A and B are shown apart, each in its own frame.
Chain A
Amino acid sequence: MKKLFVQLDLCIGCQAHSLACQRVNHGSVTLRSSEVENVGTLPVVCRHCEEPACVAACPNEAMTRDDDGIVRRNAVRCTGCRSCVLACPFGVLSGGMKLPLFSVAKCNMCAQRTAEGKEPACVLTCPTGAIIYAEPEEEYADESGMVLGSHAAGYKTYIRRP
């Protein structure tokens, strides 16, 4: 399954990904930016975890991890309690003020675009190619089997730390 990777040494913090995400998702920014002091603004992508904390935390089973490995939010079931926002260890989910009440923005890896054979909007729009949509070639795991990082073809290692 293809995943989103961010090469931090290429990111210039232009936030074009957020605006592209907002454009294709009719106003809700599912790919957030995080301001890092004295470094800049970097994209924060959903990891689509193997054991997602947001799915476990959701009281209404609105969050599900599908067979294709994408963690999705069911808009009908979601009551906007924002338990998933609190549970996410990466701070990826948001229930920001720009969204209507009873909703949470959740990246679905542009499923509507990938179904048409297109790449996700954030990947295509990135001016420096810092966001990559690629198959993880190799995964690094510690002794307990927890995946610490993965490596996509031709790109540097992107370490995921819980």
Chain B
Amino acid sequence: MKEQHKSKCILCSVGCGFIIETEQDEAVNLEYDTNDDVCGGSLCSKGNFALELINHPMRLIETRVGVKAVPWKDALEVIAEKLAPFAGTQSVGLILGGDASVEDVITAQVFAKKCLGNERVAVHFPTGDDTVYRALASMNLGDRTATPADIEKAACVVAVGDPFEVGPVIAGRMLAAKYAGRRNMLAVVSDRTNRTSRFARMHLCGNVRRTLAALLRATAGQSSEGPDWLSVVREIYPQPDNPSISTVAKSFIATEGAVLVLETQDPIAARLAGALTIAAGKDKMIYPVYSYSNVGGISDVCAVEDTVDAMLDAADSGAIKALIVLGADIVKGAPDRNVRAILSKLDFLAAGSPFVNETTAFADPVLPTAIWMESEGTYGGSLLNPVIEPPGGALSYGEILRRLIAKMGYEMPPVTPELVLGRGEFTAEDIRQMVRLIDEEPPQPAVRSTVLQSADGSLTDHMSWMELQGRKPW
């Protein structure tokens, strides 16, 4: 008899729902949830393979120390023993994967503070979504965040970047909005022709920062009321002479409930987009699309802004001597650095992952961890329940750290998320600073971890990097 369990995809910020069918403690089928509010049953290529993540042949199923399979207790004892000499020396790093739940990140910070005596905790977001989230969070746009239903109703949608590529399910809502009326606007701001721009009524192609600044200036010129900093915008930005910019700005201001769909890795562009939403009127909304579902939750509770890059630098210089990596494949996740050489300098590297990967190949001990469908946790603002038992007694990142805290003789305090947001207002000084930054070189786009299908039918995220390098993976 098949049992049905509802769950949610966390592989991008759209958060599509689906149903996992289980039979005798085995996940046997994935079914489309046609009653889901977000996607109505649709799934992109990533969501379609959620079942394969549970039943993947490369799942780690045993705790290993050296070449021996050992029980959890022994493996955690080895880790606690090895970490004890480093306590209080600021030389132990902890890296979590972007698929961590809010509870996992809070526990990681408690573990770092209590057991290791430092604040070296980083969450691995290969696409830099966390910087964009922080940039938007500092602007206090919370009440302007749109839902997928809002996008469908909007007669004017301005897309920045390529949201069709990162969250294809949201494309259905955007196209429904475009085709709902003959005069409906879908404008795309991007630096190249992409999947979204092919459907645009107006494609503002060029430097994204400058285009958004021009749109902001045109909006400030056309709207009579608004916040104080609009006068600064009128003063220091030149009036754009491109009629397309004025048309899009006019449509964005005039349309009630217009939505700006934002997909970018550039925090300056994100702040400009946020400023544009505020400047255009009180009823305008913004819908950021991220490559991970839980970017917001993690960034809200992560009190320290340490990055994986900074941690690798510290490991390279010898400042970090021991590293615990849970869920992140940092070797594959930073292909532009020689991570293998850096990891070989460490005295101790423990890695936990749901799958065999290149980081676990370097680590000792190796711990099997659960994926989001196998453990309880908060993702994207909603609590997800486990749909199935993890294979081989795998534990969630948070549970591993809780047991380690107990092993090292401490008691885990009750989890109370402390929201660490920006200062929550946007001032004229921000505009002046953005003018200085606008002509700077934008950050190089990070390698997007796209789930692709390899020749043997398994999933890989390695091809996109090779394609970026101009090398064909076949």
Interface residue ranges, A against B (CB under 8 Å)? 10, 12-16, 18-20, 22-23, 27, 39-40, 97-98, 118, 121, 124-129
Contact = CB atoms under 8 A, between A and B. Distances in A.
Contacts of A126: 42, 172
A121 B49 CA distance: 13
27 contacts: A12-B164, A12-B168, A13-B195, A14-B45, A14-B164, A14-B171, A14-B195, A16-B44, A16-B168, A19-B45, A20-B43, A22-B453, A23-B30, A23-B49, A121-B32, A124-B32, A124-B42, A125-B32, A125-B42, A125-B43, A125-B44, A125-B48, A127-B43, A127-B44, A128-B42, A129-B42, A129-B172
Interface of B: 30-32, 34, 39, 41-45, 48-49, 51-52, 164, 168-172, 175, 179, 195, 198-199, 453, 455, 457
A40 B172 CA distance: 17
Contacts of B52: 23
A127 B48 contact: no
A19 B45 CA distance: 6
Majority SS at the chain A contact face? loop
A12 B457 contact: no
A18 B44 CA distance: 10
Given A14-B45, A20-B43, A27 B168 contact: no
B32 A128 contact: no
Contacts of A16: 42-45, 48, 168
B171 A127 contact: yes
Contacts of B172: 126-129
Given A16-B43, A125-B48, A127-B171, 10 more contacts: A10-B179, A14-B45, A15-B45, A19-B453, A20-B48, A22-B457, A97-B455, A124-B34, A127-B172, A129-B172
Contacts of B175: 10, 12, 128
Contacts of A15: 45
Nearest to B453: A19
Contacts of A129: 42, 172
Contacts of A22: 453, 457
A14 B457 contact: no
Nearest to B51: A23
Contact of A40 (B31, B42, B198): B198
B433 to A, nearest CB: 37
Given A22-B457, A27-B457, A125-B42, A14 B32 contact: no
A12 B167 CA distance: 11
Contact of B49 (A19, A97, A118): A19
A14 B31 CA distance: 19
Most chain-B CB neighbours within 10 Å: which of A16, A27, A128? A128
Nearest to A129: B172
B271 to A, nearest CB: 28
A129 B168 CA distance: 11
Contacts of B32: 121, 124-125
Contacts of A127: 39, 42-44, 168-172
